[in-house]
Amino acid sequence: MYFMNSILVSFEYNLMKWPEFYLAILCCFLSIRWYLKHKNQALVRWPILDVLPSLLQNAHRIHDWTVDISNTIGGTIVARGPIFRSLEMLYTCDPRNIEYILRTNVSNFPKGSDYKEVFNILGDGLFNSDSQLWHAQRKIARMTFTSKKVRSIIANMSQKVVKDSLLPLLAHVAKQSSIVDLEDVFLRYTFDASFSIIFGRNPNYLSISFPSNEFAKALDDSTEALFYRHVVPKSWWKLCRMLMIGNEKKMDRAWRTIDQHLTHYISTKQEKMVQGTEEISDLLQVYMSLKEGEKDELLSKSSDKFLRDTTLTFLFAGRDTTGSALTWFFWLVSKNPSVEAKILEELKLVFSKNMKGENDGLGAKRPWVFDADDLTGMVYLHAALCESLRLYPSVPINRKNALKDDVLPDGTVVKSGMLIIISKYAMGRMEWVWGKDCLEFKPERWIDEDGKLNHETLSKLIAFSIGPRICLGKDMAFVMMKSAASAMLFNFHVEVLEGQNIQPKPSVVLQMKNGLMVRIKERIL
């Protein structure tokens, strides 16, 4: 007993000596009480730490969390980072504010140095650059993607990969009655298609044997690391990078692999261009053949780096985003048989016109692949893809920085240096933007009374961004998606296995967390 009393006396003495202990206990008690009081709210704003704990707590469901916040608190919210880091953030899914930030006053909302630091693997590519460097690259990219030559390359390469790789693989799977992960299939398809368009050669990642690919794996690893840089404090991921641990170690390995492959592809293509042994048949050759007068001085000084950053940017944009978009599209179509029937009706009509009534196409060689001219006239298929991108935008979040103080259309005050987070995912689910049927998959909302695409509704599609920085690869993405979707739906029926837990993966690109397991069956028309 004497021993216990001595301990208590000593403990009380130390408490009196260290009042900080009382403060720590008090802060802990108040924090717990605060959490219990607010835990059922979509956004708990903690003392001192503000929104950081809520962000980390919901990182696994970050995109659906933005919907919860928008529905319960509002379409625009101003928050602060921890008190020891004076970072102010503005979140919005209000289309009025998005229009203002991305189009009306775009010069006040650049990507900023923080964005470039997070996406440093892309170098000085089009996604990362601002100001003069961005204008120089944008000019070249616009000239490239609007050229008849490049449009032809995109259409032909996409159609070739569909015909020679995608459909044979699906036919094999159907014959074997196998179960496949459709997301994996689409990511392989878009990797091969994008790679063929950019480098002029098919890596055959999409084949019956489902081979591994070191370059594709490196892209996956780097994308995963990029997401975690968005949800953890900057100081933390920088410390991990310095110590080479966790996702930063994975990023370093992926970066090295990517650079090794790109260096090889670029140098090989340069040698062939010098020898004059190849006609221009890919994007890399188009960029290499640009005359000095067509380039900006900033780009000419570092030609190899410019080619590296440009090709990697295009590969990132063309592969992951288009592959994930196709996955969500087929999942939505499988849940809406009436939509599938209408798309098939449109495809059959185009097919019949091609066959010009010859035995109603019964003698046509199967599987059938639609060409670029066919794809242009597919209004309902285009509308269905737009509707899928509304609900599941491939890049669900956009981030900007404010240069100067400003006021948004809804009256929210923006301060200089503020981080701006735009949720395309949440905007697509707001009833006050799309109506009471906002969560329904309705391609008809994109079609006007004359049966043409509704330009007023199209103006609200922000999956490819809007304004001066709208994605120049938008048409390329639609060609790749339509090529695959039209051929697959016309020749096969995709049956999604029941009981799957379908939800978005926490990533900078909106992929499915657990993939999409399906059975493929040949369609009998």
As annotated, the binding site for heme includes 471
Q: Who contacts 325 (Cβ-Cβ below 8 Å, separation ≥6)?
A: 385, 388, 389, 392, 394, 463, 477, 481
What type of residue sits at position 400? K
Angle at 314 between CA 322 and CA 135, to 5 degrees: 125
Of 182, 161, 260, whose CA–CA distance to 479 is shortest? 161
Of 178, 117, 512, 469, which Cα lies nearest the Cα of 327? 512
- Count CA atoms closer than 13 A to 151's CA, side-chain side: 13
DSSP symbols for 489-521: HHHEEEEEPTT----B-SSSS--BSS--EEEEE
Apex 108 CA angle, 106 and 113, nearest 5:
105
Helix boundaries (H) for 364-473: 372-376, 379-391, 424-427, 431-434, 455-458
Task: Determine the longest span between alpha carbons in the chain, in angstroms.
Answer: 106
Residue 83 tokens read as 């008190």
User: What is the pairing mode between strands 419-423 and 88-92?
Assistant: parallel
**CA pair distance 20, 17, nearest whole angstrom:** 9
Residue with tokens 């949720």: 423
d(CA 143, CA 113): 27
Sign of CA dihedral 437, 441, 442, 445: positive
Q: How many CA atoms lie within 13 A of 313 on its CB side?
A: 25
Q: Please give the annotated binding residues, written as ranges.
A: 471
Closest CA to 73 of 95, 92, 98: 92
Who's near 18: CB < 8 A, 6+ residues apart? none
Q: With contact defined as beta carbons under 8 Å apart, do 421 and 482 qualify?
A: no
Q: Supply the DSSP string of 418-430, one letter for each residue.
A: -EEEEEHHHHTT-
The answer to whether residues 426 and 67 touch, using CB atoms and an 8 Å cutoff, is: yes
Q: 522 and 171 in contact (C-beta within 8 Å)?
A: yes
